[in-house]
Amino acid sequence: MELSPRALFEQPTVAGLAAFVAEATGADANLLEIELTESQLLDDVERASDVLTAVRERGIKVAIDDFETELQPGDRLLLCSDGLNGMVPDTLIATLLGAGSPEEAAWSLIEAANSAGGYDNITTLVVAVER
């Protein structure tokens, strides 16, 4: 089952739709797979996270098309756990990600998540592109 960006965000419950397909076809939900592109995930990260969680809770597999992007000197990449995502607004993450050294940015992000309640483990890795 491949979803367009519109279907992902306009469908009231993608997980419900996938469950309906499984029920209507008699297929085991574990045999279903929803394929998403990176643009679908990046357009609305919070919505995508909610959809992916609901889909996975129903036993449906999720495939994500990987993508390439050209990095430039000065760009930064952030890999983080869900202890940061959802706790700190994306705008603040972007601001803190660009401030100071990569190590300082990583610690600032962890501190921001802890200040917001820090209910989960918080892991961050900040990578700076130099050349």
> What confidence tens digit (pLDDT) does each residue in 30-89 have?
777 777 766 666 667 777 777 777 777 777 777 777 666 788 898 999 988 778 877 888
Q: 90 and 60, same structural domain?
A: no
In the chain, the number of structural domains is 2
Same domain for 14 and 60, yes or no, is: yes
109's CB contacts (< 8 A; 6+ apart) are 78, 80, 84, 88, 93, 96, 97, 122, 124, 126
Distance CA 85, CA 113 (A): 9
Q: Quick one: 60 and 82 in the same domain?
A: no
Q: Within a domain: residue 70?
A: no
Q: What is the domain extent for residue 46?
A: 5-64
Is 94 part of a structural domain of the chain?
Answer: yes
| In contact, 29 and 61? CB cutoff 8 Å | no
pTM of this prediction? 0.51
List pLDDT tens digits, range 106-123.
Answer: 999 999 999 998 877 888
